A and B are shown apart, each in its own frame.
Chain A
Amino acid sequence: KAGVTQTPRYLIKTRGQQVTLSCSPISGHRSVSWYQQTPGQGLQFLFEYFSETQRNKGNFPGRFSGRQFSNSRSEMNVSTLELGDSALYLCASSSPGTGGAYEQYFGPGTRLTVT
């Protein structure tokens, strides 16, 4: 099976712009979670989607949003970018999603740099 894929791998944006990151989960996985990794804050949970519904949300401002499509692919969007949004954004998928915590498989991440 192919692993979790994320596009693009690298991105450079300017403050105030918006950005959309994409994640394709492992085939058959219906849960997709997003994390932000920075040197200062470490790995922080952004949100989780299952069957096109957001099930969990971390403590991030409303500028961070996401969605999931019927094929389980997910996108996250960050509007009005700030310098502090520079980070590695990781997507993870897991299966099946109804009770119990199954291991999450991570993609290679998207490295976002905001200048």
Chain B
Amino acid sequence: AQKVTQAQTEISVVEKEDVTLDCVYETRDTTYYLFWYKQPPSGELVFLIRRNSFDEQNEISGRYSWNFQKSTSSFNFTITASQVVDSAVYFCALSGSAGGTSYGKLTFGQGTILTVHP
């Protein structure tokens, strides 16, 4: 069975602070994919990043960066110099297929509510 744990239920920061959202996953699949999504108050899930299990390179996109460590089964997300517009619920998700061909199922963590105060 697959499982994603986001230990931080809520985080509150002041604008310009850096913030890291933790994500730990469990899977028996050798090939799997990890994702981060953002859900602003409007409710629509917005895709942020996809990483496959063979690529442990960290990634940076503007103020966002992701740290994937297979040894600790973690895929953490850092926002540098946070802004009020970053306030949202952030979800980490996992997709694996146990040798099959379909990866259409995402297993989500419970989400982390990030509030950035001005």
Within 8 A of A (CB), among B50-75: 50, 52
With A50-B104, A55-B102, A55-B104 given, is the CB distance from A101 to B95 under 8 Å? yes
Interface size on B, residues (CB 8 A): 28
Interface of A is mostly: strand
Within 8 Å CB of B108, what residues of A? 35, 42-44
Q: Is the CB of A103 within 8 A of B35?
A: yes
Partner of A58, one of B33, B42, B105: B105
Distance in angstroms from A11 CB to nearest chain B CB is 15
Within 8 A of B (CB), among A67-115: 88, 90, 92, 94, 97-109
With A45-B106, A55-B102, A101-B50 given, is the CB distance from A108 to B35 under 8 Å? no
A-B contact count (CB 8 A): 72
Determine whether A33 belongs to the interface, using a CB cutoff of 8 Å to chain B.
yes
Chain A, residue nearest B103 (CB):
A101
Q: A64–B32 Cα gap in the complex (Å)?
A: 27
| Chain A residues packing against B (C-beta within 8 Å) | 31, 33, 35, 42-45, 48, 50, 55-56, 58, 88, 90, 92, 94, 97-109
| Chain B residues packing against A (C-beta within 8 Å) | 32-33, 35, 37, 42-47, 50, 52, 91, 93, 95-97, 101-111
